[in-house]
Amino acid sequence: MQIDRIGAVRTDLGECPVWDARKQTLWMLDCRHGRVHLVDPESGHSQHFELPAPLGSIALNGDDSLVVALKEEVGVFTLSTGVLRRVARIGDSHPNLRLNDGTPMPDGSFVVGTMHVLREPGQEPLGGLYRLGPEGSFERLDSGLGVVNGPTPHPSRPDFYVCDSAARCIYRYRMDGAGKLSARERFIDTNPYASAPDGCCFDSEGGLWTALVHVGALARFDGEGRLSHRIELPLAHPASLCFGGPALEDIYVTSIRDSGRLVALGPLDGALLRVRGSGFHGAPIPRCRVRS
């Protein structure tokens, strides 16, 4: 297995890698600073766009825009014009509450969750899990989640998975044809791995990958929630991952240098890594179709 640094991008809170299969490029965020980076993995060249910080996540939307999770709003950012249009807002507001990870869905919608940190003991988290429909509808799907990370639909089954990093748990929902979710069930407890789960993605065989953010590793779980593979990384805090490359054969990993709660000052902390030779290929990711 080969692990390399890609380009010179170095983030404080590197999150949400998104592979553009049409252009063979990678999008990623530095959430603390409101930067959206576009990286060419072959040359290492990158450019970035400035948006209001903090950012939570992005998703490709059609051919010329991104769906963007801002602090308490979701927007559509048009790349050719640089115009950001806010299209939805969550109902809760708090200094320690913001939108976090999100994912495009097969129906063109965008599902995104919140993180509510520094809560008092026993205090229920505000926010939850939300769906932005292609036509602009916005609804809350679930609540009671402390730090939503890695929401992702299963590539071949009507299941939907969400990490609550505060609970060190990955939950599974059943999803009906209208995108409604069943009550969540505990799928994986990551306490035995000494870490919370962070970003997630699926491979083409239905294996669920997550970043073990506290122990510098990636983990793959099979359909029964059993650990099947673990990859140690040369950095302290991997935050998220996605598959990329011409055949989705590579794994791209974003990382943390200073998230405000996690700090690491090694030479690769905050860098973008590429893992080659895992033996797996990624499941294709849809694009959103949210009208701006």
Q: In angstroms, rounded to a whole number, what is the distance separating the alpha carbons of residues 54 and 57?
A: 10
Q: Please pick, among 30, 101, 198, 269, the residue that the annotation labels catalytic.
A: 198
Q: In angstroms, rounded to a whole number, what is the distance separating the alpha carbons of residues 69 and 287?
A: 15
Amino acid symbol at 253: V
Give catalytic status of residue 101 as yes or no.
no
DSSP 122: T
50 labeled part of a ligand binding site: no
61 labeled part of a ligand binding site: no
Which residues make Cβ contacts (< 8 Å) with residue 108, sequence separation at least 6?
Answer: 134, 286, 287, 288, 289, 290
User: How is residue 279 written in tokens?
Assistant: 């033996």
124 labeled part of a ligand binding site: no
CA 168 to chain centroid, in Å, comes to 16
Q: In angstroms, rounded to a whole number, what is the distance separating the alpha carbons of residues 90 and 109?
A: 16
98 labeled part of a ligand binding site: yes
198 labeled part of a ligand binding site: yes
Contact at 8 Å (CB) between 201 and 231? no
Of the candidates 138, 203, 128, 127, which has an alpha carbon nearest to the alpha carbon of residue 173?
128
| Beta strand ranges found along 93-226 (DSSP E) | 97-104, 110-116, 129-132, 138-142, 148-153, 159-164, 169-174, 185-189, 197-202, 208-212, 217-221
Of the candidates 217, 97, 197, which has an alpha carbon nearest to the alpha carbon of residue 152?
197
Q: In angstroms, rounded to a whole number, what is the distance separating the alpha carbons of residues 21 and 155?
A: 16
Which amino acids are annotated catalytic?
198
Annotated binding site for a divalent metal cation: 15, 149, 198
- Residues annotated within the binding site for substrate are 98, 100
**Annotated binding residues, as ranges?**
15, 98, 100, 149, 198
